[in-house]
Chain A
Amino acid sequence: MISFRKLRIRQSTQEEWAGWLFASPWIIGFAIFTLGPMLFSLAMSLTNYDLFTWKWVGLLNYERMFTIDDLVLRSLGVTLRYALLSVPLHLLCGFCLALMLNQKIRGLSIWRTVFYLPSVLSGVSVIVLWVLVLNPEFGLLNSILANFGIKGPNWLGDPNIALYSLVMMSLWGVGSSMLIYLAGLQGISSELYDAAKVDGANDLQQLFNVTIPMMSPVIFFNLVLGIIGSLQTFDTAFIATGGGPAYSTYFYMLHLFSKAFLELKMGYASAMAWLLFIVIMLLTLVVFRFGAAWVFYEETFKKDKKAKGA
């Protein structure tokens, strides 16, 4: 009995050590590449560090962002407008495509591959492709429009349109959210639909009373990730428009990049990074707040029911 207990103790201390050992790459990495840098960047945002000299400036960087440097708020506005457009559109299009593919369609895997393909190919090549497609004179889109007698706009060159063109470009990659919604839809048990049909619910009622509530956790998850991702947009604008014309696609990350790596104002750029971080956290918080009201978690519901029954 005693030896058995000893064995258990030995095993558990061994396991303790093994746990820390196996997790050590991440723990060390987290300290070096995440936690340390976060504290470092917070401290740096209070200085005017420029790779050569540094001086403590207190909250001056933060003050400047809202007073002297009007590009900060402007680029933040562009970024938020982009997020406000692209996130709901991605959600809507992805969800609708998934709904259609979930209707006992023939050749499901072929449709799925075609729709998903563009999101695999993200990157510079695709952006370059779109720059040519959207070329005002010889681009594919305007050539097609011209064939119908419509004179297409200067998609990336008109400050009133450029941001919407970028949203359109991003929608080309809607396949990845479609895929996730489709998997979610396939996971809803058919009993729920049968029950709804017995109660005389039509397609639309089934959609709003069965499908959407059951899908709400998946939608929520994608919403949060979508917001975080879209606020960090950089590549598309940097390559396709360079932030122009007239700063109409000048995203926050472009400004941060130019402050940090072109002007080498590391302290100021750190302060900018923290402002973006705060904005992202606030938005996530708001989404979580609203999420609590409409997201339906099956497990918690079942648990509640059990608790009430007992």
Chain B
Amino acid sequence: MAASTTQPDSSSWQRLFRYLRRNSIQNTLKMGFIYFMLTLTALVISIPLVWMVSTSFKESSQVFTWPIEWLPNPFRWQNYPEALTSRPFGTWTLNSITIAAMSVLGHCLSATLVGFAFARLRWRGRDVLFLVMLSALMLPQEVTLIPQFLIFRQLGWVNSLLPLFVPTFFGGAFNIFIMRQFMVMLPRELDDAARIDGCNYFQILTYIIAPQVFPAVGFIAINTFRNRWNDFFHPLIYLNDPKLFTLALGLRTFRGEYAIEWGYLMAASLAVILPVLVMFFFTQRYFIQGMVFTGVKG
């Protein structure tokens, strides 16, 4: 009787021993520790975001209760329309979209053209200029900030959206660099074949090279959009008229009031980051690829 009960026990012990021999105790502990740490980090990272979403549906009295009501009851979705109509959010959104869209266009165009020149054409002065561009990559922006402001002021562009996107049409060192790195990897025979078929350089670029570097264009577009959408410093300097504010700048006008209406503030903040969030989820692959490409191979 006793023997029969201990029998299955000992075999399961044996199985455990076999398992442990295969994946030593140390290893099991290690993986356990890793999963524990990862979960902890994921919690620390995501809790503020979840709290943000939850707070955006609360009225002020619910915000300050303990324990935290993760699912607010009553569920005050009206925070969104109320917060968004308390300020000219429509105009601000339009301004942000204008700046972001024009900058995306500017950076994609200029990076493709200039990247092509650096990657696929041989011309005197190319290597020197490329080195100059690489050092410009590390140049902090504040040295050029004030003169640029004065130039745009001279042009009468201060308090307009122009200074915020016109420079992008002249290319950014970082984007050109990425584009060049992508283009350099394509085989030379592509250009030669196209030349034999009678293509000029512009045709080589548009028909042969550009379609091949779609991931780079995608990354530049996404990254530019995100940076411009989130940009606070430049709009702060160039835009004074509240009608010209971008969303990032407009959000700050809530600053004086946040002690009173946290729900509004969180609703407005979420509305502002929503486009970036949606974009990230749809284009994650390009984004991560591009980040990795610049970080590791750069």
Q: Interface of A with B (CB < 8 Å)?
A: 11-12, 14-23, 25-30, 32-34, 36-38, 40-41, 44, 97, 100-101, 103, 105, 111-118, 120-126, 128-133, 138, 140, 143, 146-147, 172, 175-176, 179-180, 182-184, 187, 203, 218, 221-222, 224, 228, 231-232, 234-235, 238-239, 253, 256, 260-261, 266, 269-270, 273-274, 276-277, 280, 284
Q: Which of A25, A40, A115, A187 contacts B41 (CB 8 A)?
A: A115
C-alpha gap A307/B202 in the complex (Å): 42
Q: Could you tell me the dominant secondary structure of chain A's interface residues?
A: helix
CB-based nearest A residue for B231: A123
Q: Could you mark each residue 31-59 of chain B with 1 if its beta carbon is under 8 Å from any beta carbon of chain A, else 0?
A: 10011011001100111110110010000
C-alpha gap A147/B262 in the complex (Å): 21
CB-based nearest B residue for A239: B252
Query: 11 more A-B contacts (CB under 8 A) besides A29-B167, A273-B145?
Result: A14-B201, A20-B117, A34-B139, A38-B144, A41-B146, A114-B46, A115-B45, A120-B276, A129-B269, A138-B262, A143-B66
A residues within 8 A CB of B122?
12, 15-16, 19
- Which bucket holds chain B's interface residue count? 35 or more
Complex contact B237–A253 (CB within 8 A): no
Known A126-B273, A128-B258; contact A234-B113, beta-carbon cutoff 8 A: no
B residues 231-270 in Cβ contact with A at 8 Å: 231-233, 236-237, 248-249, 251-252, 254-255, 258, 262, 265-266, 269-270
Complex contact B45–A117 (CB within 8 A): yes
C-alpha gap A27/B113 in the complex (Å): 12
Known A124-B251, A125-B273, A269-B146; contact A23-B129, beta-carbon cutoff 8 A: yes
Known A114-B45, A234-B233; contact A33-B148, beta-carbon cutoff 8 A: yes
Known A18-B121, A19-B117, A100-B34; contact A124-B147, beta-carbon cutoff 8 A: no
B residues within 8 A CB of A34?
136, 139, 144
B residues 208-239 in Cβ contact with A at 8 Å: 226, 229-233, 236-237
CB-based nearest A residue for B35: A105
B residues within 8 A CB of A29?
110, 167, 169-171
C-alpha gap A163/B227 in the complex (Å): 25
Query: Max chain B CB contacts within 10 Å: which of A132, A228, A239?
Result: A132
CB-based nearest B residue for A179: B291
Q: Which of A116, A224, A232 contacts B141 (CB 8 A)?
A: A232
* Cβ of B113 to closest chain A Cβ, rounded Å: 5
C-alpha gap A114/B38 in the complex (Å): 10
Known A111-B42, A138-B63; contact A284-B248, beta-carbon cutoff 8 A: no
Complex contact B48–A37 (CB within 8 A): no
A residues within 8 A CB of B142?
232, 253, 256, 273, 276-277
Complex contact A273–B132 (CB within 8 A): no
Q: Which of A113, A121, A147, A260 contacts B273 (CB 8 A)?
A: A121
Known A26-B170, A28-B170, A183-B296; contact A124-B151, beta-carbon cutoff 8 A: no
Complex contact A111–B201 (CB within 8 A): no
Complex contact B143–A132 (CB within 8 A): no
Complex contact B42–A114 (CB within 8 A): yes
* Cβ of A12 to closest chain B Cβ, rounded Å: 7
Complex contact B170–A132 (CB within 8 A): no
Does B114 sit at the interface, judged by CB under 8 A? yes
A residues within 8 A CB of B125?
20
* Cβ of A207 to closest chain B Cβ, rounded Å: 12
CB-based nearest A residue for B175: A26
CB-based nearest A residue for B60: A138
Known A33-B144, A146-B66, A266-B150; contact A19-B123, beta-carbon cutoff 8 A: yes
B residues within 8 A CB of A32?
151, 170
Does B292 sit at the interface, judged by CB under 8 A? yes
A residues within 8 A CB of B45?
114-115, 117-118, 172, 175
* Cβ of A167 to closest chain B Cβ, rounded Å: 15
A residues within 8 A CB of B121?
15, 18-19, 22
Known A123-B273, A260-B146; contact A132-B266, beta-carbon cutoff 8 A: yes
B residues within 8 A CB of A280?
140
Complex contact B262–A180 (CB within 8 A): no
Complex contact B252–A30 (CB within 8 A): no
Q: Which of B129, B143, B276, B295 contacts A184 (CB 8 A)?
A: B295
* Cβ of A56 to closest chain B Cβ, rounded Å: 17
Does B77 sit at the interface, judged by CB under 8 A? no
A residues within 8 A CB of B63?
138
Q: Which of A117, A123, A140, A274 contacts B248 (CB 8 A)?
A: A123
Does B68 sit at the interface, judged by CB under 8 A? yes
A-B interface, 5 closest residue pairs, ranked by CB to CB distance from nearest: A29-B170, A19-B123, A180-B295, A123-B230, A37-B147
| 13 CB-based A-B contacts, threshold 8 Å | A12-B122, A28-B170, A97-B38, A115-B45, A129-B269, A130-B48, A133-B48, A222-B295, A232-B141, A260-B145, A269-B146, A273-B143, A277-B142
B residues within 8 A CB of A228?
138, 140
A residues within 8 A CB of B133?
26, 30
